[in-house]
């Protein structure tokens, strides 16, 4: 099984200009992710896919492969997201694809190694892919009111809420040909690889970037405390 790590980056960013090359950890987000992936021996190739000549030159300077995308596969209007995923997977090699976004800079090599080891196991257990998620317990509302708890006498502490999950987009693993078939980066029965809050951060705006910069050097033992079992007043 050969694994190709794909780092998708593009020129435009609506919320944070030049997000993918924002300064981070003494370099920038793109090169930081390349450096992380280079430490994983299970990865056969690293490919940066972009419409940006600047970012592609950065990738070449790091001795990784590049895939030049046409503008229509980056403008978020001409082609659907599914078409973009299929297009990238059709233009790289490898049995399996590790979709590794550089905007998840606190997903470290140890996480990728663990996820890859699990991926090899869970494919034999009936799962079709692996995705990273963060588990959370929060009081949620929609336009009609609470969706996962009741008001009044039946209100329960957050620790007793049923766990919910959101996709972090930090790690996505699936067979390359399946990604092309699905036109998506995971299937309908993915294995949930749970990351903690620190590792789950995905940079979308300036506040996310500030948090990632603040958290990169924090004591890792702090991030491993399970928030569902921390006693609080009240």
Task: Read off the pLDDT of residues 187-220 as tens digits, 9 standing for 90 and up.
Answer: 999 999 999 999 999 999 999 999 999 999 886 6
pLDDT at 76: 86
pLDDT at 227: 45
pLDDT over 90 at 146, yes or no = yes
pLDDT over 70 at 228, yes or no = no
pLDDT at 62: 98
pLDDT at 222: 52
Write out the H or E segment, with its range, that includes residue 28: strand 27-28
Question: Per-residue confidence at 1, pLDDT binned at 50, 70, 90?
Answer: confident
Bridge partners (DSSP) of residue 46 are 5
Structural domains of the chain, ranges and CATH numbers in brackets: 3-132+169-229 (3.90.550.10)
pLDDT over 90 at 224, yes or no = no
pLDDT at 219: 65
pLDDT at 102: 97
Query: CA 178, 180, 185: angle at the middle one, nearest 5?
Result: 70
pTM of the predicted structure, to 2 decimals: 0.90
Q: Convert the pLDDT of each residue in 185-196 to its tens digit.
A: 999 999 999 999
Q: How many CB atoms lie within 10 A of CB 193?
A: 20
């Amino acid at each position: 099984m050969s694994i190709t790590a794909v780092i998708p980056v593009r020129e435009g960013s609506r919320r944070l200009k030049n997000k993918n090359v924002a300064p981070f950890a003494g370099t920038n987000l793109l090169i930081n992710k390349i450096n992380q992936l280079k430490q994983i021996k299970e990865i056969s190739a690293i490919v940066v896919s972009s419409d940006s000549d600047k970012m592609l030159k950065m990738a070449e300077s790091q001795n990784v492969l590049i895939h030049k995308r046409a503008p229509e596969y980056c403008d978020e209007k001409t082609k659907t997201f599914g078409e973009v995923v299929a297009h990238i997977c059709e233009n790289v090699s490898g049995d399996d694809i590790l979709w590794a976004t550089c905007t998840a800079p606190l997903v470290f090599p140890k996480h990728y190694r663990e996820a890859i080891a699990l991926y090899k196991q869970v494919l034999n257990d009936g799962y079709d892919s692996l995705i990273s998620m963060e588990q959370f317990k929060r009081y949620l509302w929609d336009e009609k009111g609470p969706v996962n708890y009741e008001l009044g006498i039946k209100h329960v502490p957050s620790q007793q809420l049923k766990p919910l999950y959101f996709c972090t987009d930090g790690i996505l693993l699936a067979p390359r040909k399946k990604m092309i078939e699905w036109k998506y980066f995971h299937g309908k029965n993915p294995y949930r690889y749970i990351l903690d809050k620190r590792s789950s951060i995905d940079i979308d705006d300036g506040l996310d970037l500030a948090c990632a910069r603040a958290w990169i050097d924090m004591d890792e033992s702090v991030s491993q405390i399970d928030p569902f079992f921390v006693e609080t007043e009240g």
